[in-house]
Structure 1
Amino acid sequence: MHPLRQIALIAFDGVQALDVTGPASVFSAANEAAGHPSYQIHILSPCGGAVTSGSGVRLLTEAIGELDPGSFDTVLIAGGNKAGLSSLARDAGFADWMARACARSRRYGSVCTGAFALAHLGLVTRQRVATHWEGTELLARAYPALTVDPDALYVEDGKVWTSAGITTGIDMCMALVARDLGEAVANSVARMLVVYARRPGYQSQFSPVLGAQSKASHGFAALLDWIGEHLDQPLEVSLLADRASMSARSFHRKFTDATGQTPARFIETMRLDRARALLPSVASLKEIAARCGYATAGQMSKAFVRRYGVSPALFREMHGRD
């Protein structure tokens, strides 16, 4: 007899519809892929009935009061607009139900900006968490004891799972399925949902260029593109400063202010991101190192381990080769 895991997806007026329907689709597809019922999905709200998402799509929900908070294996709060999340977090009955449900569940968490509700309710205090890229700085300021990861697609910290923006809830829930039912079932779910690839949690919400461009002033946009096209070449600050028509000292300060990273840190991030993308290919480590601007494979490996905690060789083994 296979266990039937009860899944609670929390919705509210103003919810992001895909934060609910994406995870629901993953767990539903897992039932089909596994060949037997593995999950029972409940879309819940404080009062039950229809809730209207931010896009106008209405979702039919069950009332939390009708269900035992101790019966759920997994509880996830969806993201949504500020007014909806604030109203949800201020609901005393919901707060009590969530405290009991999360205490007794095997795991709980959030999709996208649902992390704000978790934090407000005290359900995350000192954990490492993810949220939508637009809210990472705000969440970190509002709850300084949290470690807000601005890059990860999703984060697992103990029994708490949190994901970044919207579609990353699908990535996180496929990881939950893989944990429960195995990689083969999760891969089958990805094929059913026509997901291009199962993205690991450490993968950035954006490429380093897009992430920097979301912060950088227009004056650096062209330079960021140029750096991405010349990673195999020496990229000294003096060269970049010349391209930006600035002194090296002024460039270093303005670039750091604009992108949130020093030039050296940004270039290393770009190179390691490129290496990570190339490692599943058949290219040798020496060739990948050269294409990413490292003098030797050993130099690249040292930087890769420092940043990601695994060697390039182990990363390649984990993620396969084409």
Structure 2
Amino acid sequence: MARSTVRRVVFVLFEDCLLLDFAGPLQAFELACETSEAGRAPYVWQICSLKGGAVKTSSGLEVMTTALSDCARKNIDTLIVGGGPGVHRAAAEAGLVDWFRSAAPNIRRVCSVCTGTFVLAAAGLLHGRSAVTHWSSCDLLRAQHPDVSVLVDPVFVHDRGIWTSAGVTAGIDLALTLLEDDLGHGEAMRVARRMVVFLKRPGGQAQFSVPLSLQSSEDRAFENIATWMQDNLGRDLRVESLAERAGMSPRTFARVFRQKTGRTPGKAVEELRVEAARRALEESASSIKEIAARAGFQSEEHLRRAFRRRLNVLPQDYRVRFSQGRPQ
């Protein structure tokens, strides 16, 4: 599509939807239009709901919407539905589900944010496809829709024109990727910087990050150890060393660590190092050898193996795809 093409984005809201699920992606599209030539903005958008009028979000804020019956289906480029406490009522609303089912074949990209995945699943749009939703709702999605291949880790998933994304802020990551597909990497990164998004996450990155899971413990001493690990990736982070710092035997430390984080200490260390290396590949011009050393890997080869295990890509290929300084 030419850069001058104007794409129409439609957001579908329902009662008790989560405000950020649509406001985050909407802001990304708006900022992409901010510096465009007069009359040449790459996007226009419409906020819709089944019946139109004021829709109350879960925070109590009301948003004015257009009725879906007044929304022309034939020229929608991207359709986005978010989630929220009211999503299961919305997914049971025959009129809404029927509209999605009939409109989808004529739309280039159909997307969901967070638990909005349940609306797409109810419309049969995810049959035989891979999809993701908020990590806390994956089991429910799998139980209600066994025909859907539910993935737990990714920030977002693209499967044959259908995009699903994880919880809340993952909608911003999804929107940035859609912008990148349409307008190029440089424009997506410009919008990311304007939104003060620290890092544009690729879809394959785990939605529940390692640092967040390590820091979510109510045990303050354990949280301090997790923070120390993150700040000292180049040091000896074997179980024996970590256990000594925690004042535990290696066996006890390994057991408690797994209980609190859902992963072994070794796996957590590798994930933290991969995450640090990934950020460096995106944001710096340092050599892969230098990045491997700073992240605590014994060699470039150890970094390559870890990247293949965690991200299914080689570090050099990852840099080509996601580096902020890559050529357009």
Scaled by the length of structure 1, the TM-score of the pair is 0.85
Query: For residues 86-101 of structure 1, what are the structure 2 equivalents within 5 Å?
Result: 86-101=88-103
Secondary structure in 2 aligned to 1:20?
helix
Q: Which residue number corresponds to residue 79 of structure 1?
A: 83
Task: Tell me the percent identity.
Answer: 38
Render the CA deviation track for 1:55-84: whole Å, top value 9, x for unaligned: 222111111122344442221111222xx2
Q: Tell me the CA shift for residue 302 of structure 1.
A: 2.0
Q: Which residue of 2 aligns with 1:233?
A: 235
**C-alpha distance after superposition, 1:222-270 (max 9, x if no partner):** 3322322332223322333444444444443332232111222111111
User: Is 2:290 the counterpart of 1:287?
Assistant: yes
Shift of 1:110: 0.7
- Code of the residue aligned with 2:172 in structure 1: it is I
C-alpha distance in 2 between matches for 1:245 and 1:32: 55
**Contact 2:130–2:159 (Cα < 8 Å) also in 1:** yes
Q: Is the 8 A contact 2:97 2:119 kept in 1?
A: no
Distance 1:303 1:74, change over 3 A: same
Work out whether residues 111 and 163 of structure 1, in 8 Å CA contact, stay in contact via their aligned partners in 2: yes
Q: Distance in 2 between matches of 1:74 and 1:294?
A: 42
Kindly indicate whether residue 316 of structure 2 is the aligned counterpart of residue 313 of structure 1.
yes
**Greater mean alpha carbon deviation, residues 105-114 or residues 119-128:** 119-128
- Decide which of 9, 25, 37 is 1:7's aligned counterpart: 9
SS of equivalent to 1:186: helix
What does residue range 4-83 of structure 1 map to in structure 2 within 5 Å?
Answer: 4-35=6-37, 36-81=40-85
Query: CA, structure 1 residues 258+294, in 2 after alignment: closer, same or farther (shift >3 Å)?
Result: same
2:276 maps to 274
CA distance in 2, matches of 1:109, 1:117: 10
Tell me the distance in 2 between the aligned counterparts of 1:247 and 1:188.
49
Q: Is the 8 A contact 1:69 1:98 kept in 2?
A: no
Deviation of residue 9 (structure 1)?
Answer: 0.6
Aligned residue pairs, count: 320
Change (3 A) 1:105 1:216: farther
Distance, in Å, in 1 between the alignment partners of 2:69 and 2:10 is 13
Q: 2: distance between equivalents of 1:196 and 1:86?
A: 32
- What is the one-letter code of the residue matched to 1:87? R
Alignment check: 8 A CA contact 1:136 1:150 kept: yes
In structure 2, the CA distance between the partners of 1:126 and 1:200, relative to structure 1 (3 Å rule), is: same
Gaps of 5+ in 1: none
User: Is residue 322 of structure 2 the alignment partner of residue 300 of structure 1?
Assistant: no
- Work out whether residues 34 and 181 of structure 1, in 8 Å CA contact, stay in contact via their aligned partners in 2: no
Structure 2, gaps ≥5 residues long: none
Output the CA distance in 2 between the equivalents of 1:293 and 1:194.
28
Which amino acid in the other structure matches residue 49 of structure 2? S
Matches of 2:228 and 2:195 in 1, distance apart?
36
| Residue aligning to 2:111 | 109
Is contact 1:131–1:165 with CA below 8 Å preserved after alignment?
A: yes
Letter in 2 for 1:220: F
**Against the structure 1 CA distance between its residues 126 and 246, is the aligned structure 2 distance closer, same or farther, given a 3 Å change threshold?**
farther
1:255 matched residue in structure 2 = 257
Alpha-carbon offset, residue 153 of structure 1 = 3.0
CA distance in 2 between counterparts of 1:311 and 1:299 reads 11
Structure 1 residues 190 and 213: CA distance shift in structure 2, 3 A: closer
Residues 265/64 of structure 1: CA separation in 2 closer, same or farther (3 Å cut): same
* 1:127 aligned partner: 129
1:173-224 Cα shifts (integer Å, max 9, x gaps): 1221221233344344445555555443334445412123336766632332
Whether the 8 Å CA contact 1:34–1:185 is kept in 2: the answer is: no
Q: Distance in 1 between matches of 2:14 and 2:313?
A: 40
CA distance in 1 between counterparts of 2:110 and 2:206 reads 22
Q: TM-score, normalised by structure 2?
A: 0.84
Contact kept? 1:216, 1:259, Cα under 8 Å: no
User: What is the rounded CA distance, in whole Å, between the counterparts of 1:248 and 1:194 in structure 2?
Assistant: 41
Displacement of 1:133 in angstroms is 4.0
Cα separation, partners in 2 of 1:8 and 1:216, compared to 1, 3 Å: same
Q: Which residue of 1 aligns with 2:157?
A: 155
Give distance in 2, aligned partners of 1:156 and 1:162. 7
Q: Give SS of 2:79's match.
A: strand
Supply the AA of the counterpart residue of 1:11.
L
Question: Aligned with 1:113: secondary structure?
Answer: helix
